[in-house]
Structure formats: C-alpha cells, structure tokens
Structure 1
Amino acid sequence: MTTPNELRLLPWSGPGDKPCYLSTDNPDGHMSRLADGIEAIQLDTASELMEEASDALDNQDTSLDEMRCLVKELTGALRDTFRVATSRGRLRATSDPREPTC
C-alpha cells in the first residue's frame, strides 16, 4: 500500500463527481493499465475536438446550436485533460527525485 501522497488520481470521478484515487505498489496492475488506457482515450478525444473546433470556427455556416454543442464537448474534454495533467503531475512529484525528468 502507498502513502497518501502517492495515491493516483484516476481519470474518472465517483458519485457526486468526487475524485477517485488508486492506492497500489504496482504501476503495471490491472487498474493502473485501465486508467492509462482511459487517459489515452480522453487525450485523443480532446485532440479530435480541437480539430473540430478549429474547423467550426473557420466555417461561417456553423450554427449557434452546433457551436454550443461543441463548447459543451470541449468543456468535458478540458475537464478530463486537466484531471490527467493533475494526476500525472502528482505521480511525477512523488517519483524518485534522482530520476531524470526529461
């Protein structure tokens, strides 16, 4: 079991939109791999939405309803991406300070 500062923030939330954490000594365990896979999907989705947003902004025929829908999707992707960045920042902060970071 890890200490509290080594808990991994998972890329999904629990009931009431509360954060979920994983406590494990095995970064290659089932839950860690599952979280890694979901993070990858979330980041890919954010990348696709950025392209979609760029196209929508360049298209004068994009309707207000289409833009609202896109903004809603982008907001969710930004939330997910922020959660991934926060989780990875915590993991990095708890890693061995003697290990190179680049």
Structure 2
Amino acid sequence: MNDHTTGTARLLPWTGSGGKPCYLIGDGKGYISKVADRIESVQLGMAAELLGHVAELLSDRRATSDQLRYAVARMAESLRDVHRIAESRGARLSAEGPAEEAAPA
C-alpha cells in the first residue's frame, strides 16, 4: 500500500468506529506518527507485563477459574494489539523494498 505522492499507508495501533482499521498516509515523521509510535510502545510494554503476571498466575495452584478467565481475556486484547503492531511494521518494511532494507542505519 504505497501512495507515491505522500508516502506509505501506516496501519495505526487503534481502530475506528465499528472496529475498522485506521490508516495514516504520510512520511512517518508527523505528529500522528509520533503518537502512534508512543501508543505502540505502551502496548508492547503492557504485553510484556501481562506475560509476567500470567506466568505468576499459572504457577499459583490456588488461582481460580475466574482469575484465569480474566487473564485470558486481557491476553486476547493484548495479542490483538501486538498483532496489529506486527502487521503495521511488516507492511512498512515491505513497502520500503529491498534497496532500502539493505541500507545501513
């Protein structure tokens, strides 16, 4: 998904009305891109924290089915966020093409 006049379409880390995906067309340097970067960072940090919490919960034999069900619900939400981030970043890498991927950082 590449718009040759304004840049690449970026899948944003939030959804629009009805859960529809939101996209941003641009060069990746504007205000909304920076907000999206910060939100992605928060979402990834929360996913890491959730993994730690779930590991503790699973090791506790006294964990109730309600606690486990709640943890699974939060994990599903987090996985949805992380999946959206991976899709967005993968699409942007694909849009860069082989020449730009090989360029030194």
TM-score, normalisation: structure 1: 0.90
Deviations 1:4-23 (A, max 9, x none): 89210000000000000000
Shift of 1:101: 7.5
Partner SS, residue 97 of structure 1: helix
Q: How does 1:33-48 map to 2 (within 5 A)?
A: 33-48=34-49
Residue 3 of structure 2 corresponds to 3
Match of 1:13 among 12, 15, 19: 15
Aligned residue in 2 for 1:67: 68
- Alignment partners' CA distance in 2, 1:12 and 1:83: 9
Q: Match of 1:79? A: 80
* Superimposed CA distance per residue, residues 37-60 of structure 1 (whole angstroms, 9 cap, x where no aligned partner): 000000011111111111111000
Answer yes or no: is the 8 Å Cα contact 1:6–1:90 preserved in 2.
no
Task: Quote how far apart the aligned CAs of 1:98 are.
Answer: 1.3
Q: Which aligned runs of 4 or more in structure 1 are off by greater than 3 angstroms?
A: none
* C-alpha separation in 2, matches of 1:86 and 1:34: 18
Alpha-carbon RMSD = 1.9
Q: What's the CA shift for 1:96?
A: 4.0
Of all paired residues, the percent bearing the same amino acid is 38
| Equivalenced residues, count | 100
Summarize deviations over 1:62-87 as a string: whole Å, max 9, x none. 11111111000000000000000000
Unaligned runs of 5+ in 1: none
What are the residue-to-residue correspondences of 1:15-30 with 2, within 5 Å?
15-25=17-27, 27-30=28-31
State the one-letter code of the partner of 1:91: R
